[in-house]
Structure formats: structure tokens, C-alpha cells
Amino acid sequence: MSTQPEWVIPQKPTDLAEKQLLAAILDGSFPIGSPLPPERELAQSLGITRPTLREALQRLARDGWIQIRQGKSTVVQDYWKDGNLIMLNALASQPEVLTPAFITSLLEVRAAFAPAYTRLAFLRSKEESIALLEGYQQLPDEPEAYAQADQELHHQLTVLSGNPIFTLIYNGFRKLSYQAGLTYFASSQARSHSQAFYNGLLEDFRRNDPQSATDRTAKVMQDSLDYWKNL
């Protein structure tokens, strides 16, 4: 039986140049605070035209990775200090930045927000939240299944909270949450702990106990953070 060929759409030169420059920034080839090479030299090293390079640089400047200064060298900005949520998706594509300290920071953010959006989901969308949690009672005992399910649960709870700002914030590190989850849920203890949380949260919603749901979420987020620190 013949099969249809899978057509691969080639990347545009600007897209490819942007990714190459970003990778060089993140791997330290172009350290924070350092100037980029002159345009002619940089374009030649990337094998692109100078107009293509300028477009790629404009994109990186727009997202806060670099600062283009008229009459001066373009410099790499301190994206850890001056960056924004747009950058988190780019960071998710660079496994080398997923250090234990960075993942700890992500878990601290989620621990701060999760009780709030869980409580709002309870108060504003209880029946929808119950239906969501009912699908979490028999997850396959595999790291990938738990990593996917956990990041999807938190995403849906932000949506059900009715506050789109929570969703925008969570979407900023959703990919990173999944990547970190693959490591976290490699432990059967972590999977069991999260399964108990899903079951308990469902019972809180069914009993109409928002305070218990909020407290339970706060505790499991802190437990997860403590467990990660001890890995």
C-alpha cells in the first residue's frame, strides 16, 4: 500500500535566524549585557541577508531579548530581570534552562496562584469543575500521562475561575509546567500524591466545601514544592 508523502514546510529565513539568535542568547554564546557582532558579520555567520537579519533582530527586540540602539551596538538584555511572559514559551524550547532552581521558581509561582483560582473555579463554575475532576480518577500510572493531565487540570481551573488573567499567566509557563512534570512524575510517590489530591479535591467540590478545596490545594502545592527541593 502506498502512502502519501509528508510534506514539510521549510522555515522562513527570518524565522530560522530568530531561532538561531535566540538559541545563542540562551546558551550563553551571546551573554547578557554583551554586544552582538556587527550586522555584516552576523548576517554572514547565519548565511542570511542583512534585511532578513534586521527583521529577526526587530522581533527579538520586540519581545525584550535585545536592545537595538541607534548608532551603537545591539546588546543582549537581562531577560531574567526585564523579561515578560512571552519569553517563557521560548525558554520552554531550551531544556538547558530547566535547572532545579528554575523549576523551583515555577512551582513557587503556581503555589501562590493555584489556591486562588481553584477557589474561584469552585465559586463560579462548580458543576463544570466537578465534571473536569471526575475525569482524573483513573489516570494511567505513567509520568507522561500525569504530566499532561496535571498541566491541563491547572489550565482548565484558571479558565473556570472566570478570571482570564490567571489563564494568561498560566499559559505563559504551561509548556514549562509539562516539561518539569515529566521529571517530577517520574516518581511513583509523586504520582500517588497527586492522585490523592485529585480525588480529595473532587470530594471537596461535591461536599460544597470551598475552604477545604482552597486549603487542600495550598497544601499539595507546598508539598510538591518541598518534594521537588528534596529530589
Go through the domains of the chain in sequence order and give each one's CATH number.
13-83 (1.10.10.10), 90-230 (1.20.120.530)
Taking only the tens place, the pLDDT of each residue in 73-101 is 999 999 888 888 778 777 776 766 677 88
Q: Are 94 and 23 in contact (CB under 8 A)?
A: yes
Nearest-angstrom CA–CA distance, 95 and 107: 17
Nearest-angstrom CA–CA distance, 135 and 114: 19
Kindly report the three-state secondary structure assignment for every residue of the chain. Answer: CCCCCCCCCCCCHHHHHHHHHHHHHHCCCCCCCCECCCHHHHHHHHCCCHHHHHHHHHHHHHCCCEECCCCCCCEECCHHHHCCCHHHHHHHCCHHHCCHHHHHHHHHHHHHHHHHHHHHHHHHCHHHHHHHHHCCCCCCCCHHHHHHHHHHHHHHHHHHCCCHHHHHHHHHCHHHHHHHHHHHCCCHHHHHHHHHHHHHHHHHHHCCCHHHHHHHHHHHHHHHHHHHHHC
Better pLDDT: 94 or 168: 168
Q: Are 92 and 179 in contact (CB under 8 A)?
A: yes
Taking only the tens place, the pLDDT of each residue in 196-230 is 999 999 999 999 999 999 999 999 999 999 988 88
pLDDT at residue 221 in the model: 95
| Most confident by average pLDDT, 2-6, 30-34, 178-182 | 30-34
Q: What percent of the chain has pLDDT over 70?
A: 94
Q: For residue 75, report the phi and psi dihedrals to the nearest 5 degrees.
A: -120, 155
Taking only the tens place, the pLDDT of each residue in 57-75 is 999 999 899 999 988 999 9
Q: What percent of the chain has pLDDT over 90?
A: 69
Q: How far is CA 133 from CA 19, 109, 114, 128, 201, in A?
A: 38, 22, 15, 9, 8
